[in-house]
A and B are shown apart, each in its own frame.
Chain A
Amino acid sequence: MRAAFFGEVHGNWIALEAAMRDARARGAEAMYCLGDVVGFGPYPDRSIELLRERAVATVQGEHDDAVGNERPISSACYTNPGEERLARRDHAYTLAKISAGHRPWLAALPRRISFEHQDVRYLLVHGSPRRQDEQLWESATPDDLLEMLARDADADVVVCSHTGLHWQAALPSGRLIVNAGALARPANDGSRRVWYAFLDTGAEEPFSFVPLEYDCERLAAEMRAEKLPAQFVEAILTGFWTTGLDMLPVKERLRGRH
């Protein structure tokens, strides 16, 4: 079986379209989206329409929940007032811009998707199996906690997102945790590429991460045209994060520029 897993999209429909094309070329029979389809990016309808047209199974992220149910975004995800203001402004943009017909789709997205293949139980969530907005960072999530989360969820493989950084850990029990990263913005590594996770059950290492080139200049132009914050555009073009930095554990933080 070959399958692609797309982490946070956040309106980057150009990267999503490129990732779908790339995954098909690699022989993906199935595609999954791990949530946060909307928020931060331009023209929220476009990403939703790509996913809906191709019936991509999608789990709900906290932005999807907030937009779908017309609720304020949770301030738990923002660590300083300036960024929270940006996020609220962006949330208002998304709510104003999204077609009314897409909100019920976002609101109805499941919080988890599970399937079994060759006796391996896969669980797809946005944050963690127990919390939609829990961030599983590579350097800040103990192995024992990962074991507990997977065991309690009856999963052999947990695929998640919500941190923007891709990583995977094979646990002592044989269980696997895969953070698919994000299509929304680069991985804070100074490259413009974004990443998604690819599963090939026939490969020695079943999960790999795929770096993806896409037309980020076009995305930046659209963001500017929609008057989205300049900080968001800068991250897209430089490959280094300009916001959300306070959330990063120190190891991940020191890999970036800001």
Chain B
Amino acid sequence: MTRRQLPHDTPSRSFRAVAYLPVLAPEMATPRSPSRAPARARPRPVPSLVQLRRPEVRFRFLDALWIQVTGTHCNIACRHCFISCGPKADQIPMMSTGQVEEALEEGRSLGMRQVYFTGGEPFLHPQLPHMVRAALRLAPLTIVTNGLLVDAAAVRMILEESQRTRYSLDLRLSLDGTTQEENDRVRGRGTFEKVLETLRRLGRAGLSPVVAVVEHEGVVRAESRERFRQLVRELGIDRPRVQFLPLFRMGREMRRTHGYHDLGLLASAPLLSEVESRLPCATGRAVTSQGVYTCPMLVEHGSARVGERLAGSLHPIRLNWDTCQTCMLDGMNGGN
């Protein structure tokens, strides 16, 4: 199969075979209990004459506390999902309300700025309204959703909870094309029309979610921003908000684009401070039912588990995962 050219492909380099040493401390590299944190098989380091340590990232501030409320449970199975979420995906269980409240409380004591509820699909969680209220007592909240379950009752809940607090309650809603063909190719048949209906519903309620677009195939942020903004406007949202996200070649996406072929960037230690400080692992952590992870992208990787609780998880980490290259490129390009 021919590898597809994607927006985040880097120019090939002559030193592409640079490998790395797995340099995680034992407690970081191995989950406490294999049964609690099933690790995906990691690719073996490529043998090389020169073995370099991957760049280190110092943790700065808890700007983003990601809480994976529904684990890998999702009502759809996007082909480009960087985890492997889906209706039958139970490798990471849902979090209990107690676990979420505990994470929030710990985040509060550590100076969190912003909470994100993610999954899977957060609106599958039966206790979501309760958890939303708990989060908004402490901090602004963004719910990362595919939008398919945001029905009239959900919109009412968002409006009510939003009015109850001085903090922003935001939705980040996925849409990966401005046509059915472009979107449904990766998100599944019928999702385009359903998401458009959700956007119309939100628009009628005076809400404006962030429309999150993954750069896949022909979707390139520099060229696509205006057509997405235009579509959102046409759906009745007069203050369109569009955010582009890079494509992470991991999780289910691995089946399409087969991971990373050139890891040259990850050999370029040390990182520029401006790039390092923008990496998600410098300013955030992801909490799941199975512990705390470096970032929301790596929650399926046991090796990325950095602790049982937030407080013990804010140490420096090394960019030991191939997908870290995508964040580095995004940081170098200024993000969004």
Contact = CB atoms under 8 A, between A and B. Distances in A.
Interface of A: 74-76, 78-82, 84, 130, 137-142, 144-145, 148-149, 245-246, 249-254, 256-258
Contacts of A142: 108, 112-113, 138-140, 167
Nearest to A146: B111
Given A139-B166, A144-B108, A144-B138, A254 B113 contact: no
A140 B208 contact: no
B53 interface: no
Q: What are the 10 A-B residue pairs with the smallest beta carbon separation, nearest first?
A: A75-B334, A249-B168, A142-B139, A139-B168, A250-B170, A140-B140, A251-B168, A148-B111, A250-B168, A79-B336
B239 A254 contact: yes
B157 to A, nearest CB: 15
Interface residues of B, number: 30
Given A139-B166, A140-B167, A145-B111, A250 B208 contact: yes
Contacts of A256: 239
| Contact residues of B: prevailing secondary structure | loop
B330 to A, nearest CB: 12
B301 interface: no
A258 B239 contact: yes
A139 B336 contact: no
A144 B111 contact: yes
Given A140-B168, A253-B239, A258-B239, A246 B334 contact: no
B113 A140 contact: yes
Nearest to A144: B108
13 contacts: A78-B334, A80-B336, A81-B222, A137-B168, A140-B167, A142-B140, A144-B138, A246-B243, A249-B170, A250-B207, A251-B168, A253-B239, A254-B239
Contacts of A249: 140, 168, 170
B241 interface: yes
Contacts of A245: 239, 241
A89 to B, nearest CB: 16
Contacts of B114: 140
B166 A145 contact: no
Interface in B118-175: 138-140, 162, 166-170
B208 A254 contact: yes
A252 to B, nearest CB: 8
B61 interface: yes
Contacts of A84: 334
A253 to B, nearest CB: 6
B170 A76 contact: no
Interface of B: 61, 108-109, 111-114, 138-140, 162, 166-170, 206-208, 221-222, 225, 239, 241, 243, 274, 278, 334-336
Most buried by B among A75, A257, A258: A75
Given A139-B168, A142-B167, A246 B140 contact: no
Contact of B221 (A74, A75, A81, A145): A81
A137 B61 CA distance: 17
Contacts of B162: 251
A76 B112 CA distance: 19
Most buried by A among B114, B206, B239: B239
Contacts of B206: 254
B140 A253 contact: no
A209 to B, nearest CB: 17
Contact of A253 (B108, B169, B208, B336): B208
A240 to B, nearest CB: 11
Contact of A138 (B166, B221, B239): B166
A76 B334 contact: yes
A74 B274 contact: yes
A257 B208 CA distance: 12
Given A138-B166, A249-B140, A76 B278 contact: yes
Contacts of A144: 108-109, 111, 138-139
A74 B221 CA distance: 20
Nearest to A152: B111
Contacts of A137: 168
A147 to B, nearest CB: 9
A97 to B, nearest CB: 25
Given A74-B274, A76-B274, A76-B278, 16 more contacts: A79-B243, A138-B166, A142-B167, A144-B138, A144-B139, A148-B111, A245-B241, A249-B168, A250-B207, A250-B241, A251-B167, A251-B168, A253-B239, A254-B208, A254-B239, A257-B239
A245 to B, nearest CB: 8
A250 B169 contact: yes
A123 to B, nearest CB: 17
A149 B111 CA distance: 9
Given A74-B274, A140-B140, A258-B239, A130 B61 contact: yes
B212 to A, nearest CB: 12
A2 B109 CA distance: 35
A189 to B, nearest CB: 14
